[in-house]
Amino acid sequence: MKETDINKWATLMIEKMKEVHSSNWTKPWFTSRFKGFPQNLTGRSYNNQNKVVLYFICDKYKYKTPIFVTFNQARNERIQVLKGAKAFPISYYDLIIKDKIAGKRVTREFYKNLSPAEQEKYKVIPFLKYYNVFNLDQTNYSEVYPEKWNALVKEFGLNINSDNNFRNALLDSVIEKQTWICPITLKEQDGAFYSPSKDSITLPERYQFIDGKEFYYTALHEMAHSTGHPERLARIFGPFGSAEYAREELIAELSAAVAGRDLGMAVPPRKENAQYLDGWCSRISSDPRFIMTVLNDVNKAVTALEEGIDLNREHEDSTEKQKVLLQIPC
């Protein structure tokens, strides 16, 4: 990824942190302008690392849908990118796969079809690639396909749930049936925490929270921490007040924000993390690549959350619905 592209990510992240801070931590990481996930025109959702920045972009420019296209995809759809529109870079990991002895490179498909024993003969080298995307608002899609556009805006334009009595069946099931990767205990107390040594989560009782969203968001935050256990993603937690501790808090904040937004919740960051804001901004400013390493860990943590609470089913339903919408005759 180019330095200029990394700087765009870093600048966007700092802008959002300062925006949240200026609201006295009452403004959510992601607002409720629409429902749905950042995705392309086929309904394929972007990875969780890209979701963070694309949610930020949608908020910043008040886009009507979370749908993005590349320049070539726009051309293939017979639509044009509007004059003066600026693309935003997103990233993904590609693989170089080589025979350890001969050095011959093979395709990912070839490698995937090999047995585990045969795969041992190859060296797999991941590397970061990027490409630029435009939001559908930055094209003339609404003029070329007005009926499809109206259907998409109607589908995505509904605000996500802001009811104080909000309940989420997926999270309720995980907590009640204890199907998460570690035990989750509800207890009448003031704080919520994840204990790496005991590998367990303790939350206050639901009635102690202002509303349902705050309860779920707190649960997701601690669940995100638990994905970093040494036997899972093996992140470094560090002692309270350390740089490692602050980094882990940022990972948990953003992971819970993405998973919560995907589940229909837009809630503010935890105020107790306000003490880390200056450190986060300073670190990103001095080393823009820091945010890339953080978002890489966020991507893995949210993937674990998705699998653990069956959030992938929500993504599949969204994709199928979008395919139906795009079949509307012009």
Residues 144-194: pLDDT tens digits?
999 999 999 988 876 555 555 778 899 999 999 999 999 999 999 988 999
Q: How many C-beta atoms surround the C-beta of residue 252 within 10 A?
A: 26
The residues facing 132 across adjacent strands are: 89
For residue 285, give every residue at least 6 positions away whose Cβ sits within 8 Å of its Cβ, in sequence order, or none: 10, 14
pLDDT at residue 329, rounded to an integer: 46
C-alpha 76 chain-centroid distance = 27
**What is the spatial distance between Cα 273 and Cα 294, in angstroms, rounded to a whole number?**
16
Helix axes 289-309 and 212-226, enclosed angle (nearest 10):
110
* 99 occurs within a structural domain: no
**What is the spatial distance between Cα 82 and Cα 88, in angstroms, rounded to a whole number?**
14
* 269 occurs within a structural domain: yes
* 78 occurs within a structural domain: no
Of the chain, the end-to-end C-alpha distance in Å amounts to 39
For residue 94, is pLDDT > 90? no
Mean pLDDT of 285-302: 94
pLDDT at residue 272, rounded to an integer: 79
pLDDT at residue 245, rounded to an integer: 93
Res. 319 pLDDT band, cuts 50 70 90 = low
| For the ranges 1-5, 57-61, 221-225, the one whose mean pLDDT is highest | 221-225
Outline where DSSP puts E strands in 230-297: none
Strands 184-186 and 200-203: parallel
Contact 20, 257 (CB under 8 A): no
For residue 31, give every residue at least 6 positions away whose Cβ sits within 8 Å of its Cβ, in sequence order, or none: 59, 266
* 217 occurs within a structural domain: yes
Between CA 16 and CA 185, with CA 217 as vertex, the angle to 5 degrees is 150
pLDDT at residue 324, rounded to an integer: 52
Res. 68 pLDDT band, cuts 50 70 90 = very high
Residues 212-234: pLDDT tens digits?
888 999 999 999 999 999 999 99
For residue 69, is pLDDT > 90? yes
For residue 205, is pLDDT > 50? yes
Mean pLDDT of 48-70: 93
pLDDT at residue 160, rounded to an integer: 53
Q: Which of 6-10, 260-264, 289-293 is predicted with the least confidence, judged by mean pLDDT?
A: 260-264
Contact 220, 230 (CB under 8 A): no
Element (H, E) at 260: helix 243-262
* 302 occurs within a structural domain: yes
Residues 255-283: pLDDT tens digits?
999 999 888 887 678 777 878 888 899 99
pLDDT at residue 138, rounded to an integer: 98
C-alpha 71 chain-centroid distance = 23
* 83 occurs within a structural domain: no
Domain range for 284 is: 169-315
* Distances, alpha carbon 217 to alpha carbons 116, 223, 230, 305, in Å: 39, 10, 23, 12
For residue 3, is pLDDT > 90? no
Burial of 273 (0-12, 13-18, 19+ CB in 10 A): middle
Instruction: Please tell me whether residue 135 adopts helix, strand or coil conformation.
Output: strand
**What is the spatial distance between Cα 238 and Cα 276, in angstroms, rounded to a whole number?**
14
Who wins on pLDDT, 31 or 171? Answer: 171
pLDDT at residue 4, rounded to an integer: 84
Contact 41, 75 (CB under 8 A): no
**What is the spatial distance between Cα 191 and Cα 198, in angstroms, rounded to a whole number?**
17
* 31 occurs within a structural domain: no
Identify the DSSP state of 211.
Answer: S
DSSP for 126-183 reads EEEEEEEEEEGGGBTHHHHSHHHHHHHHHHH-SPPP--TT---HHHHHHHHHT-SSS-
Mean pLDDT of the chain: 88
* 328 occurs within a structural domain: no
pLDDT at residue 22, rounded to an integer: 85
For residue 115, is pLDDT > 50? yes
Task: Look at the chain and report how many structural domains it folds into.
Answer: 1
Res. 26 pLDDT band, cuts 50 70 90 = confident
Nearest to 204 by CA among 221, 225, 183, 219: 219
**What is the spatial distance between Cα 109 and Cα 238, in angstroms, rounded to a whole number?**
39
